[in-house]
Amino acid sequence: MDGDYFGILVDESKDISHKEQMTLVLSYVNKEGEVVEHFVGIVHVSDTSARSLKEAVYSFLSNHSLSPSQIRGQGYDGASNMQGKLNGLKTLILSETPLAYCIHYFAHQLQLTLVALAKKNSNDYHYRSLHNLIVLFPSIIHMLEFIGRECPNYTDRLVAKSLVSTIKEFDFTFMLYLMWKVLMMTKELSSSLKRMDQDIVNAMGLLDLTKQRLQNRKDSEFELLMDDVFSFGDKYDIMIPKMVASDFPGKSKRRALDVTYSHHLRVDIFYVVIDLHL
């Protein structure tokens, strides 16, 4: 970093043994002009008062030959020991480094937003989550593959590799699209039932309409679903099994020999999921 300016992201919590600990991340711009967020480490602290955290931060920086005077950004959650105007960590550092501007860091704001959304409308939240998984699929694969190669923690590498293997299976893609489409059809009803001004007549009408849509999907839209799944699989090099195969993962030995994979997807999963929602 050549002694240049940087920002700090700090959070604190208890570990599994109930000891207080602090995490420090440095944010800076490297020589290529790229913004880097670099995890420095975790340290146990005697308590989580603002003064103890400040001493721990300064000690961390000193151990890495960095000066607090070069801090140009602070990022914390909304806890009083962090953001307090009188004795918060933010205020203590600003008193010595006036240009160390502070923000409520984005990751924590995002977490609070997601929790609020989940409490407000779980159906819509899950629908959007699945939609984002479909849209961001290549980026997610790229990230997991990178972790599987580069992460210094052996266990994390194994978990990442296992996740890549799982989400690139055809069964996962089939379930992803099936649940996304089912939630797409039920999210309007779910949102409507949460409205304080909803009356029973409108609610029952929307309920009947949603059930009819689900029944229509069950009766005539399995092939359309499969077309979407096949297209997604071709796009992202997901191996597509033979639909006429009678030997497939998860098949019980008691099943008839002539039961095909396509029959399994339609009857054992597609029909069952929609009947459950109906």
Within a domain: 77: yes
Pairing status of strand 20-29 against strand 35-44: antiparallel
Contact 69, 2 (CB under 8 A): no
Let me know whether 100 and 146 are in one domain: no
- Residue 251 in any domain: the answer is yes
Mark which of 57, 85, 107 sits at the end of a domain. Answer: 107
Examine the domain organization and report whether 240 and 125 are in the same domain. Answer: yes
pLDDT score for 195? 76
pLDDT in tens, 80-134: 556 666 567 888 888 888 888 877 665 555 556 555 655 555 677 788 889 999 9
Domain that holds residue 266: 121-277
Whether residues 135 and 235 share a domain: the answer is: yes
Q: Which pLDDT tens digit goes with each residue over 174-193?
A: 999 999 999 998 888 887 87
State the pTM of this model. 0.55
In a domain, 116, yes or no: no
Element (H, E) at 37: strand 35-44
167: closest CA among 238, 228, 235? Answer: 238
- Residue 270 makes CB contacts below 8 A (sequence gap 6+) with 178, 218, 222, 225
User: Can you give the pLDDT at residue 94?
Assistant: 85
Domain count, the chain: 2
Position 243 in a domain: yes
Does residue 113 lie within any of the structural domains? no
- Same structural domain for residues 163 and 261? yes
56 found inside a domain: yes
Number of alpha helices (DSSP H) and beta strands (DSSP E) in the chain: 12, 5
